[in-house]
Amino acid sequence: MPRHPDTSLSAIKNAVDIVALAGDYLPSLRRVGSKYKALCPFHDDHNPSLELNPERQSYKCWSCGAGGDIFDFIKNIERVEFPEALRMLADRAGIVLERQPTTGDGPRGPSKSDLIAVNEWAVGIFADALRGSPEALAYLEGRGLSASSIERFTLGYAPEARGWLLGLARREGHAPELLEQAGLVVRPEEGGPARERFRGRLIFPIRDGNGRTVGFGGRILPRVERTMAEQGRNVAKYLNTPETALFRKRTLLYGADLARVAARRDGWVAVVEGYTDVIAAHQTGLENVVGTLGTALGPDHLVGLKRLADRVALVFDGDEAGMSAADRSLELFLGSDLDLRVLTLPAGEDPCDYLLRRGSASFRERAERAPEPLAYLLDRAEVRFDLASAEGTRRAAEWVLGIMNAATPTHRLGLEVKEGKILDELARRLRVPIESLTRMRRTLQKPAPRVRASAAPSANAPFETPAPAPAPVRLGDLDRSDRELVQVALEEPEAVEWLSTRVSPSSLHEGPLRSLLEACYDLHAEGVPATYDRLMLRLEDPVLRSLATDLVATTALSIPEPAPLSEGVRPGSWRDRLDGLVARLDARARQARLEELKRALEAADPQTEPEARRAIQLEYRRLLTSGQSRKN
C-alpha cells in the first residue's frame, strides 16, 4: 500500500478530534470524568463499554476489544480500507493529500472517493438542468415545495434527451466507465453504447448519514409517464441508483444527514415513505424526519434509526394499505429495543399533504398521542375482528400472536419484556386465560431462519461487508514481563533510548510485542520521539495497532489515584521499573540458555566429542556462577 508522509498523517490527527468524530456517529456518547463513554457500535452493546481517551486521541471497547485511533475508528465504522479512511479524514480536516503513485498490479476500479466525487458533480449538473426546466419546477411547485427546500435538498432534473449527461461528462474528463460504476449510466443487456439511467425525471440526491452523495432517486414527470403509456411502454414511477460500492438501499434513510441534529435534540425521529414527505416535513420546521427509499423497513434500517434517536414514530397513511404496512413493520420493531410509536394519518392524506395543510404543530401533537405497538395492535384487533364472538376472539388472538412469532429478536431481553406485556394485555382484552394464549402461541410457532441486522457500525452509510477482522491479541495471553516492558516504552518515550542499548527485540517471547518494540526503536533511530501517536502513524497492521492501544489503555486504567508519600520517599521512575524488568529478562534468557546447554551436554558423546563437551561444560558453569553472583 502506498504510504503517505507521517507529516500528513500527523496533521490529520491534530486536526480531527476523536471525541468530535465519534460524536457524529454515537448519540450515546457522554463524558465520564476525564474520558468519554458510549455504546459500542462494533457489537451488540447494551451497557456503554466504549471508552474514548481525549488525551491520547484513542478509543477502546472493554467488551469486544475494538480499539485504535481516528483512522481505525473510520475504517471500522465505515467498513473501508486505510486509504479510503485517510481520504475521508483528510476531507474532514480540509487537508489536501499528495497523490501517491499506483503500483503495477494491473487495472483497479475507481475508489469510493472517485465515485462520491462524480456523484457530487452530477448533483450540480442535475440542479442546473432543473433551473432550466419550467415543467419540472412547476411540478415541484404544485407539490408545495419551496425554492429554499429545493436548494436545501439539492433537487435536480434529468432531461429526456439521450447522451446529454455522457456528453457533459466527456467534456469534464469523466469516463463512461466511472459513470457506469456510479450507476448514472447503464449498458443495455443486448449490447451497445451506455445510456443515461435517469431521463425525464425529477432527481432526488440520496446522501448517507455524513452528507456524502451515494446515489439518486428519480421520479418520472407525469407528462413523460403519460406519453410512454400511450406508446404502450410501462415505466416505473420511481427509479433508484442500482446497488453499487456506495449505494445499498436497505441501509439508507433519505434525509438522515439533515435530520441528525433535530432528532438528537428532540429525542425522536419520524419515518415516512416518500421523498416529498421528508422535504415537506423539513420545510414546515419538522426536521427530525427521514424516509425509506421505496423499500420496506428492514433490520439494517433499525441500526441507522438507533443512531439518530431511541424513539421512532412510524408514519403511515390512514387507508387500509397504510394500516397493512404498519402491521408488517411491527414484526420488525417488536424484536428491537427501540421505543416505537405508530402514527396513522387521516384517510386520504399522505404526510406531504398533511404537513403542508396543517403544519408541523399538528403533526407533533399526533406524534405525542401516537400509540405504542401493543396498544396499536389491540386497537387494530378490535377493528378487524368481532371480539364479541368466540370465533372473532380466536382469530384476533391468532393474528396478534402471529405477529409476535414473526418478530426478529435483535434484543432478547427487551423482546421478552414486550412479549410478557402483550400477553398480559391480550389476555385482559380478550378475556382469555394467559395459559391458553401461551399454548396457542406455541402451536402457531414454526422454526424459521432468523435474519440478523448487519454489524453496527455502519448504518450511517457503510459500503460493503468487510473481510473478517483478524483476531485481536489478548493481553492476558502475553508474557507478563514482555508486556510490561513494552508498556513502559509506550508510556515513556525517553525510555526507548535506554532500552535500545540493553534489550534486543529478539529477547521477547511474544511476536507482536517484538514488533512493537522494533517499531519504537526504528522511530528512535530516525530521531523521532517514540510516542504512542507517532507509533500509530507508523503501524499499518490492525492487530498491532489494536494491541498498542490496549497496552496504553490498560496502563492508564490500572494506575490508581496517587496516595501521599511518606516524608523522604521519592516516587519510582521508569528507570526503576525497567531495571527490574531487564533483570528478569536477563535471568529468563540465562535460564533458557542453561536448559539448552544441558540438553546439548546430554547429547554430546564424551568419547567422540570430548572438546565440544568440555566447551559446553565451561559455558554452563560460567552462566551458573554468574547467575548465583547476581543473586548475591
DSSP 3-state of 341: strand
> In this structure, is residue 77 part of a structural domain?
yes
* 3-class state of residue 370 by DSSP: coil
pLDDT at 615: 73
Which letter, b or e, does each residue of 312-347 get, where b requires 16 or more Cβ atoms within 10 Å of its Cβ? bbbbbbebeebbebbbebbbbbbbbbbbbbbbbbee
**Candidate from 325-339, 452-466, 550-564 with smallest mean pLDDT:** 452-466
- Amino acid 552 reads V
Same domain for 495 and 517: yes
Shared domain check, 396 and 259: yes
**Is there a single domain that holds both residue 267 and residue 392?**
yes
pLDDT score recorded for residue 99: 56
Indicate whether 460 belongs to any domain: no
Q: Which three cell numbers stand for residue 178?
A: 466511472
Task: Look up the pTM and report it.
Answer: 0.61
Specify the CATH number for the domain of residue 38: 3.90.580.10
Three-state DSSP class for residue 343: strand
Query: At 433, which CATH number?
Result: 3.40.1360.10
pLDDT tier, 270 (very low <50, low <70, confident <90, very high otherwise): very high
The three-state secondary structure class of 515 is helix
Whether 419 shows a pLDDT value over 60: the answer reads yes
Question: What pLDDT sits at residue 241?
Answer: 93
pLDDT for position 371:
87
The pairing of strands 311-316 and 268-272 is: parallel
Q: Identify whether residues 35 and 144 lie together within a single domain.
A: no
Strands 213-220 and 58-61: unpaired
What is the CATH number for 531?
1.10.860
Residue 470's pLDDT is 58
Checking if the pLDDT of 456 tops 50, the result is: no
480 and 488 Cβ atoms separated by less than 8 Å: no
pLDDT value at position 464? Answer: 40
Q: Look at 194 and 123; give whichever has higher pLDDT.
A: 123
Q: Are both 346 and 376 inside the same structural domain?
A: yes
Buried b / exposed e along 220-258 (16+ C-beta atoms within 10 A): bbeeebeeeeeeeeeeeeebbbeebbbbbbbbbbbbbbb
The last residue of one of the domains, among 209, 227, 247, is 247
Q: What is the pLDDT of residues 467-495, one digit of tens each?
A: 445 566 788 888 888 999 999 998 888 88
Q: Give the residue, 380 or 239, on which the prediction is more confident.
A: 239
Query: Would residue 409 count as lying in a domain?
Result: yes
User: Do the Cβ atoms of 166 and 196 come closer than 8 Å?
Assistant: yes
Judging by beta carbons within 10 Å of its beta carbon (0-12, 13-18, 19+), is residue 105 exposed, middle or buried? exposed
Inform me whether the pLDDT recorded for 460 exceeds 60: no
Among 247, 271, 289, the domain boundary falls at 247
Q: Is residue 147 part of a domain?
A: yes
Read off the pLDDT of residues 274-291 as tens digits, 9 standing for 90 and up: 899 999 999 999 999 999
Strands 67-68 and 156-158: unpaired
Taking the C-alpha atoms of 127, 133, 136 and 138 in order, what is their torsion angle to the nearest 10 degrees? 120
Q: Return mean pLDDT, the chain.
A: 81
Whether residue 597 lies inside any domain: the answer is: yes
Mean pLDDT for the stretch of residues 253-257: 93
Per-residue pLDDT tens for 5-35?
566 788 888 889 999 899 888 877 888 888 8
Residues 208 and 123 in one domain: yes
Instruction: List Cα–Cα distances, 191 to 178, 188, 309, in angstroms.
Output: 18, 5, 47
Number of domains in the chain: 5
Residue 51 forms beta bridges with which residues? 37, 60
Order of strands, edge to edge, in the sheet holding 339-344? 289-291, 268-272, 311-316, 339-344
Last residue of a domain, one of 543, 558, 573: 558
In terms of domains, do 269 and 129 share one? Answer: no
Looking at residue 531, its pLDDT comes to 87
The predicted pLDDT at position 170 comes to 92
Residue 367 lies in a domain: yes
Please give the pLDDT value at position 555: 57
Mean pLDDT across the stretch 451-462? Answer: 38
Across 76-80, 131-135, 432-436, which has the greatest mean pLDDT?
131-135
If asked whether residues 243 and 267 sit together in one domain, one would say: no
Least confident of 134-138, 175-179, 338-342, 359-363: 338-342
Instruction: Return the biggest CA–CA distance within the chain.
Output: 108
Task: Output the pLDDT for position 109.
Answer: 66
In terms of residues, how long is the chain? Answer: 632
Most confident of 163-172, 230-239, 364-373, 467-476: 163-172
Same domain, 417 and 278: yes
Q: Are residues 229 and 356 in the same domain?
A: no
* Alpha-helical regions (H) of 194-288: 222-230, 256-266, 275-283
Stretch 457-475: mean pLDDT: 50
Mean pLDDT, residues 135-141 taken together = 95
Q: Domain residues for 292?
A: 251-444
Which cell is 252 given?
439508507
Contact by Cβ (8 Å): 336, 380 = no
411 pLDDT higher than 60: no
Return the C-alpha cell found at 86.
Answer: 485517510
Q: Which residue has the higher pLDDT, 218 or 410?
A: 218
Residues 80 and 206 in one domain: no
Model confidence at 373, pLDDT cuts 50, 70, 90, reads confident
Number of neighbours of residue 7 by Cβ within 10 angstroms:
9
Distance CA(423)–CA(285), nearest Å, equals 39
Residue 101 in any domain: the answer is: no
Query: pLDDT tens digit string along 62-82?
Result: 888 889 999 999 988 877 788
Order of strands across the sheet with 201-207? 156-158, 201-207, 213-220, 238-240
Distance from first CA to last CA of the chain, Å, rounded? 53
pLDDT of residue 287: 94
132 located within any domain: yes
The answer to whether residues 141 and 220 belong to one domain is yes
Tell how many helices (H) and how many strands (E) occur in the chain. Answer: 26, 15
Give every CB contact of residue 377 below 8 A, 6+ residues apart in sequence. 330, 400, 403, 422
* pLDDT band with cut points at 50, 70 and 90 for residue 565: very low
CB 272 within 8 A of CB 280: no
